[in-house]
Amino acid sequence: MKITITICTFRRSHIATTLQSLEAMERPADCAVSVVVIDNDDTPSAQDRVANTAAAMRLPVRYLHQPGANISIARNAGLEAATTEWVAFLDDDEVVEPDWLVELVRRQRATGADAVFGPSYARYDDDAPDWIVRGDFHSQVAAPRAGVIETGHTCNALLRWCGTPWQAERFALERGKSGGEDTEFFFRLRQLGAEYAIADTAIVREDVPAARLSVTWLLRRRFRIGQSYSASAESLRQRLGLFGSSAVKAGYCALRAGVALANPERRTFWLMRGTMHSGICAGCLKLPEKALYGVQGG
């Protein structure tokens, strides 16, 4: 089993820490593992940092410079560079647990799934607001809908790649600045026959910067997630149905947020859910998506 781990980076020094965590991890039995880092900055700003880190690693690391400040361009470059049967996805601000890849592979072998998604758990500084820490609003965990895993994320995933019916598929460039390109991508692969599983024990952790410790940032992200989720509706009839149900849910969430006005944790929970459903409505209407990638605090 040959696996290429792809990591897109954009002006983050944390990429060195991410690579070091990969070097320290346990390697799955009977697996050959390599890493490709795709630098999406206009200049090769991460090249020296990646090279210096890789020099102290046994794990093979390849650096690619793919400018454009568009995450889809970088992700597609990673797919183009991958000549292995399997591709793993990781973000440049994450650290993997020692058994991360072992657990992804174990779950894939147990289920036969074409893609396996693990959780990305947030790590907060000591000065983060207590209600944000309790709510754990920044963690990303794939979840089934009505018992079915419809899509996933690229912050922690293992995907069957070479020789598949979807090997020619790529991340949508029009979503490369707004985000949600991974949600739409995995929806599309599922339409081509891909089957998914969740590996709860394949854990990565992500430090949450101060710029993201606000309700504004959380709602902006949830709205975008909603817009991306609307890709699950393929026909006009499905979009109308999804729009109607999401509009009702958004109204209900607004009422619950009003009831919880004095409780910041519960209020934010309901505001986030309502904003996501509002984003679904916007996505069903094909409204423009705001650029989030490549901006400060994005």
Using one digit for the tens of pLDDT, what is the confidence trace for 101-144? 999 999 999 999 999 999 999 999 999 999 999 999 999 999 88
Residues 61-98 as b or e (16 or more Cβ within 10 Å = b): bebbbbebbbbbbbbbbbbebbebebbbbbbbbbbbbe
User: What is the model's pLDDT at position 106?
Assistant: 97
Tokens of 165: 């019916």
Residue 145 has pLDDT above 90, yes or no: no
Say which residue the tokens 């026959």 belong to. 193
Kindly give the interhelix angle for 264-284 and 215-229, rounded to the nearest 10 degrees: 30
Residue ranges per domain, the chain?
A: 2-210, 214-298
pTM for the model stands at 0.91
What is the mean pLDDT of the segment spanning 12-23?
Answer: 97
For residue 263 the two structure tokens come to 């409780």
CA–CA gap between residue 25 and residue 251 (Å, rounded): 46
pLDDT of residue 143: 87
pLDDT at residue 79 in the model: 97
Instruction: Tell me the three state secondary structure of residue 280.
Output: helix
Instruction: Note the pLDDT tens digit of each residue in 53-99.
Output: 999 999 999 999 999 999 999 999 999 999 999 999 999 999 999 99
Q: Please, which pLDDT band fits residue 272 given cuts at 50, 70 and 90?
A: very high
Q: Residue 297 above 50 pLDDT? A: no
CATH topology classification for 2-210: Spore Coat Polysaccharide Biosynthesis Protein SpsA; Chain A (3.90.550)
Q: What's the confidence (pLDDT) of residue 292?
A: 64
Which pLDDT band, with edges at 50, 70 and 90, does 294 fall under?
low
Candidate from 8-17, 109-118, 153-162, 169-178 with smallest mean pLDDT: 169-178
Q: Is the pLDDT of residue 295 over 60?
A: no
On the CB side of 297, CA atoms within 13 Å amount to 11
277 contacts 253 by C-beta, under 8 angstroms: yes
Closest alpha carbon to 151 in 114, 121, 189, 113: 189
- Beta strands 120-123 and 204-207 are parallel
Per the prediction, the chain carries an average pLDDT of 94
Q: What is the mean pLDDT of residues 155-171?
A: 97
pLDDT of residue 109: 97
Q: Which of 229, 222, 215, 237 is nearest to 184 (CA)?
A: 229
Residue with tokens 């690619």: 64
Contacts of 117 (CB under 8 A, 6+ apart): 142, 149, 152, 153, 156, 157, 196, 197, 198, 199
CA distance 268 to 114: 35
The token pair that represents 17 in the structure block: 């820490």
User: Is a pLDDT exceeding 80 seen at residue 293?
Assistant: no
Average pLDDT over residues 256-263: 96
271 pLDDT higher than 90: yes
Task: Give the model's pLDDT for residue 192.
Answer: 96
pLDDT of 296: 43
